[in-house]
Amino acid sequence: MDIRLAVSDLLQEAILKAFPALDKEDLPGPETLEIPPDSKLGDFAFPCFRLAKPLRMAPPRIAQMIVEHTDRPEVATAEQVSGYVNFFFNRVNFARNTLKDVLDKGPRYGSEPENGKTVVLDYSSINIAKRFHIGHLSTTVLGNSLRRIYTHLGWKAIGINHLGDWGTQFGTMIAAFKRWGDWESVEKGGIDALTALYVRFHEEEQKNPEMADEGRAWFKRIEDGDPEALAIFNRFKDLTLRYAKGVYELLGITFDSYNGEAFYNDKMGRVIDELKAKNLLIQSEGAWVVDLEDYKMPPCLILKSDGATLYATRDLAAALWRKDNYHFDKSLYVVAYQQNLHFKQVFKVLELMGYDWAKTQMEHVAYGMVSYEGRAMSTREGHVVYLDDLLKRAQEKALVIMQEKSPDLEDMETAARSVGIGAVVFATLLNNRIKDIDFWWDRALNFDGDTGPYVQYTHARCRSVLKKAGEVTDAPDYTALENDEAQAVLRQISLFPEAIRKAQEDNEPSSVTRATIEVAKAFNKYYYEHRIIEGEPSKTAARLEMVRAASEVIRLGLDLIGVEAPEAM
């Protein structure tokens, strides 16, 4: 039950009865309803100040007249407080309707039917022959969560891992491999073996600068489609993807496409030809650029003086290819905020090329930086935290905590995996994505407060209560849920679909994370202050329905951000 819509309809009816001459365009929508800071002031409040101008009337008088014409007590009653109308739900009907909605829909609660729209999400975008580090965490889990949220709301969501698989560094890797490598040691050592070869080459290059020519020569062979160069490079790519998919499997993440920069190598001619045909490409200091001075941006580099393409060229080619092949209604780039200018330039160039959809359908979903226990990541300083190491350590730490808290728990290692990895993901998606994150173990793995383990434990608590209660056949008496604590749980549950929609509208998964925390907090307050399996069976049945609904919504919230909900902890 979308209680905000129900109260909004009630408000609009009352306004039209009280002020029949009011232009319908001036009717307030659901978004105008506020949630009072104290539940004693009502469940929703409408500020009448916004009607003062069209009605030419003082807000307190408007509020009084709205209250006098509110006559659907089965939904809510209304009271005037100064210039506000405060609405109080019919608690029994609110409980009945909210629980029916959740329990009928289950994991589809708050979902919407397929809308025929497609969203393309570009996220994670790992580099070939390099390990994930903690800096990849945000893009990876943000993109995964947004993909789940869009899918829940009826979109066809396509996940793309735009691999970093183009550039001179890959020629350098082949040169290093040809000098010192062999397939047996590389297959055995994996990504670390490739990294060691790359580092060794650069160390040797410091002594013999002419070695750089070897790297450039091998990359030229890749560009020219040389069979040997491509065979070696493709094995590097396969090895990287095997490693990457192991990390993605831990996080519950899949992709529809791994088309990276190399895929667009033969598709950039279209971009260059169109830019030339539309007189957008000009020469500047030997390079070819699109002048963006009129838009208060530096020029967008398309071709270097030697004719080599750049990131912008490939991103332009990718955007056009994706539009042609996926026919997207929205295209999201989940990339750190340092790339703000790059994407502004790319979107503006597409617009200047005549593709109006670039203005409304493309968006850079920027996020802040990640540091680890107070220290920023720095490859040069040797302070790098690798993501697979972080996830492994998270599981180990969670296992130690759970051995202390729940020594008799069955299948503890599986639960520790869910809790440890869930803690990392939850901490990453807790706050507004643009905020920088400083990851600390003692915060992330805390079983109290705004953490993944706290929410997961609340879900396990709900499931434990339901298991203990067994099957209940009595018809529920919803008067058992008229108390303030039960109503607080129901309110958070009823507002959850709104949080999902807001997360999609703002591309902000933290809306779901925060809403899930609020359900968990409200439920735990109720749990500590009320007996659930006690007294009249019909009242117990109503309370158990609420427990079941709370567990469903918490499970859904965790799933939408890519976190598992253990049955026991």
Q: How far apart are CA 15 and CA 27, in angstroms?
A: 8
CB-based contact 299:330 (threshold 8 Å): no
8 A C-beta contact, residue 146 and residue 509: yes
Task: List Cβ neighbours of 400 (8 Å cut-off, separation of 6 or more).
Answer: none
Residue among 149, 147, 142 nearest 159 (CA) = 147
For residue 365, what are the β-bridge partners?
A: 334
Q: What angle do CA 202, 208, 213 make, to 5 degrees?
A: 75
CB 333 within 8 A of CB 255: no
Note if 69 is an active site residue: no
Q: Where are the beta strands (DSSP E) in 329-403?
A: 330-334, 362-365, 370-372, 375-376
| Pairing outcome for strands 362-365 and 330-334 | parallel
- Active-site entry in 100, 136, 245, 539: 136
- Give the CA dihedral 3, 5, 10, 14, nearest 10 degrees: 140
- Sign of the CA dihedral running 416, 419, 425, 428: negative
- Helix, strand or coil, per DSSP, at residue 132: coil
Please name the amino acid found at residue 478.
Y
Catalytic entry in 133, 237, 330, 459: 133
Nearest by Cα to 493 from 449, 553, 448: 553
Q: What ranges make up the beta strands (E) of 153-219? A: 156-160
Angle between helices 91-105 and 537-560 (to 10 degrees): 50
Active site residue 136: yes
CA distance 383 to 367: 21
CA dihedral 248, 251, 253, 258 (to 10 degrees): -20
The residue from 17, 100, 105, 130 that is catalytic is: 130
The single-letter DSSP state of residue 532 is S
299 CA to centre of own chain: 32
Our answer to whether residue 130 is catalytic in this structure is yes
The set of catalytic residues is: 130, 133, 136
